[in-house]
Amino acid sequence: MAGRVVVTYHPLFDGRGFSPLAASWSRYRTSMDWMASLGIFDAADVECPSLAADADLLRSHSSAHLEVIRRGDANGRGTFATSDTPAWRGIMARARAAVGGTVHAVRLVASGEAAHVFNPAGGLHHAMRDQARGFCPFNDLAIAVDHLTSLGLPRVAIIDIDAHHGDGTQELLYDREVLKVSMHQYDGKYFPGSGSMAEVGWGDGFGLSINVPLPRRVGEAAYLDAFRAIVPTAVRAFAPDVLLVNFGVDGHFADRLSRLELGVRAYRAIAATCHSLAHETCDGRLIVTGSGGYNPDAVARCWSTMVATLTGALASPDDVFSPMLHDRMPAMHGHSILGQLSSAALWPLQFAGLPDVPPCPDPAAIEACRETVASVVADVLPLHLTDIDRLGNEHAPARTANPWVTD
């Protein structure tokens, strides 16, 4: 599919955000200004979405939950399920705008009016059926899956690179035939506390929750090696109708809410890989949501790089990104990819010369990451791959009771 690239943007995105971190609220406008100044909108259209209707929200949430958000909007004070998600006057309209951006993306991609659509205010992956939590009042990712299914595109692969595990998305889709790969910081205590390798899905979704829990200070090279070893194989085996990428960039080293220690180069490599996978596996149908990221300058760099990659303003040379798509363990290519991306010739955007140098990773974290990847490849990927013999391991965790359902 050769088609348009669209960024969905509602004027309400310029106002208050769902996070209590007021300094982060400007990240949407800052990103749009950066993209405009870099000429990215010469090759991408901006469209204003409609506010999501109740019927959209009720695809993944209860009517009681909608009423809770309405009351929080009317009262203008207090918090929802977690203390980090405050109620305020205007939150309902702002949430409808965020979800509406993703619903608009679904309609554009499903109809063929656009190939790739980015909703910067989407990716509210912590919201559960009856809970607003983790800065997320409604879960637009799960809503998107239901919309796509109703439009004849039921096989959705979700790649979530936000630094926090998408617990709400997992809860809502745990027993659904939807691929969910999440790469996130994890120690059992870091919010939201879920996302271990043992959480593999249930029912029709068994084997389709692939969690890649990563230690603090893992760094760019080890992260890219983990991404390369798991994501392309999982996506190809699933053969999706649509690729949905939750492009949270709170793993950037300048972000105060995580310690993954990534930089813009890593996000560019991920964007290029996802872009290529979409064209290889699902005729180019690609929806991207913004999710986390709380340093406006870092967010603007990462999102601008991603959109420029989708439009072709940043070329994706085969000799640089081929290892991300075609080489699996044990070869490690992260350092090589990062080294080549340091070349000014590969950065025709104006911010190429700005410093973006993550701190040195922790050697122990790198080793822990490699052990995690080996376990995921050996024990989790085979649960949904048909070509198990190629992985050389037929062992898998036993089916267990669904931890997301209580009596």
- Helices assigned H by DSSP within 76-219: 91-111, 140-150, 167-173
Q: How far apart are CA 401 and CA 308, in angstroms?
A: 44
Q: How many degrees, rounded to 5, is the angle at CA 299 between CA 297 and CA 301?
A: 70
Query: What are the C-alpha distances in Å from 257 to residues 21, 137, 174, 254, 403?
Result: 11, 19, 26, 9, 27
Query: What are the C-alpha distances in Å from 303 to residues 246, 290, 310, 387?
Result: 12, 8, 11, 35
Establish whether the linkage from the previous residue to 49 is cis, with ω within 30° of 0. no
The residue behind tokens 């106002």 is 15
Q: How far apart are CA 98 and CA 33, in angstroms?
A: 19
Measure CA of the first residue to CA of the last residue in the chain; give whole Å. 46
Q: Are 3 and 113 in contact (CB under 8 A)?
A: yes
SS3 287: strand
The amino acid at 91:
I
Q: Is 147 a catalytic residue?
A: no
Q: Are 386 and 75 in contact (CB under 8 A)?
A: no
Q: What are phi and psi of 291, to 5 degrees?
A: 55, -135
Of 10, 61, 116, 126, the catalytic one is 126
Q: How far apart are CA 164 and CA 172, in angstroms?
A: 16
Active site members: 126
